[in-house]
Amino acid sequence: MEKRNLELAKQLRRELHQHPELSNEEVWTKQRLMDFLKTHTSLEIVDKGNWFYAIYRAGVYKSNIAFRADFDALPMDEVIDLPWASQIPGKAHKCGHDGHSATLAGFALEIDQNGADKNVFFLFQHAEETGDGAAQCAAFIEENHIEEIFAYHNMSGMPLKSINVIDGTAHCASKGMTIQMEGAPAHASQPEDGVNPAFAIAKVIDAIPEFTSPENNRGLVLCTVVQVDIGKRAFGMSASKGDLLLTIRALHEEELDKLQKNLEELALTQAERHGLRVSFSYNDTFPETVNHKESSDKIRQVAKSKGMELVELKEAFRASDDFGHYLKLTKGAYCFIGNGVDYPQVHTYEYDFYDDLIETGVELFKGLVEL
């Protein structure tokens, strides 16, 4: 990677870090990235509102390849002392999406300056943390006849600058599930006069170990109790309303669907038994991210040809990523670049993106374009 391009990308990363924006609020971030590309490249830029993409055109009959970076931040405070620390209280880039976007921008500089034998699409995506972004951007794949798409995530606990890849599922599917039950209030001395949802909700919680048991599922299935909110802090009242918040997760989407169905059916049965009204709502829905072997093999090939340390992952990450939406529409793969074995984990206060990963990511992407 050209030294000047690397320095520009690092500077951009630190600017993005200073101005973090949460999912679906990334107005400044998107504009700064667009301005950077307009200033330093001659790429065509397509503004799609919350997100955008840039294009290097090699020719009408050339193949179309895409690379994606996310650019939203997390609702966390910046507590470590950094020259480029977040300037916005309660918001910080503690997942490294600032680094992902700076990598893609640096890659765009290299392609614009040196050319390519493919039409290269640089997709800058909003709202990955909530799962909204890729679902909104997915039409980009068919509209531009994208034949293959790649992305990476920085990851701690892996050797520094190593390329970590897996065939098949790289990230589990997941969603936030809320079960709301409502009965009728009563005096705490006469609970029989009301309808209390506590017992029905307790039955649902009690069934979770059976629903998620390895004996009853194919691959990993998890159900995490996030919050139980029943009644009010009033000792003279018997509770009449209750919410059970769960995060459900599975290696395979069909297993996630089965878990959701089991939870809904049990909640409905318990509601009918106790005379409760019940409703369900869902948030932060992520598909499974399933790598295509042909594409993950290309990542292996580039890593080996460039002398990068290649690590074969033995299992999928439990955490989710909305990149799976793209892989349902075209071939592609998602990999991880190591921050170092002892580097602070993402989503923690001590974490900051390691700038030297920018060059590793750019070189990996350049190699993929050249295949």
**Claim to verify: residue 165 and residue 244 sit in the same structural domain:** no
User: Which amino acid appears at position 132 of this protein?
Assistant: D
Q: Report yes or no: 308 and 163 within 8 Å, Cβ to Cβ.
A: yes
- The structure's pTM equals 0.96
Domain-ending residue, one of 285, 308, 340:
285
Domain-ending residue, one of 258, 285, 312:
285
Confidence of residue 365 (pLDDT cuts 50, 70, 90): very high
Strand, coil or helix: 171:
strand
- Alpha-helical runs (H) found in 188-252: 198-211
Q: For residue range 184-239, what is the model confidence (pLDDT) as tens digits?
A: 999 999 999 999 999 999 999 999 999 999 999 999 999 999 999 999 999 999 99
Domain enclosing residue 345, as ranges: 3-171+288-370
Confidence of residue 48 (pLDDT cuts 50, 70, 90): very high
Which of 142, 110, 117 is closest to 61 using CA atoms?
Answer: 117
DSSP 214: G
Q: What CATH number is attached to the domain comprising 189?
A: 3.30.70.360
User: Which amino acid appears at position 277 of this protein?
Assistant: R
pLDDT for 154 equals 98
Q: For residue range 102-119, what is the model confidence (pLDDT) as tens digits?
A: 999 999 999 999 999 999
**Claim to verify: residue 292 and residue 269 sit in the same structural domain:** no
**Claim to verify: residue 142 and residue 217 sit in the same structural domain:** no
**Claim to verify: residue 229 and residue 111 sit in the same structural domain:** no
Confidence of residue 289 (pLDDT cuts 50, 70, 90): very high
Q: Report yes or no: 108 and 37 within 8 Å, Cβ to Cβ.
A: yes
**Claim to verify: residue 348 and residue 358 sit in the same structural domain:** yes
pLDDT for 69 equals 98
How many domains does the chain divide into?
2
**Claim to verify: residue 164 and residue 104 sit in the same structural domain:** yes
pLDDT for 247 equals 98
In whole angstroms, how far apart are CA 193 and each of 7, 101, 189, 270, 274?
71, 58, 9, 18, 13
pLDDT for 38 equals 98
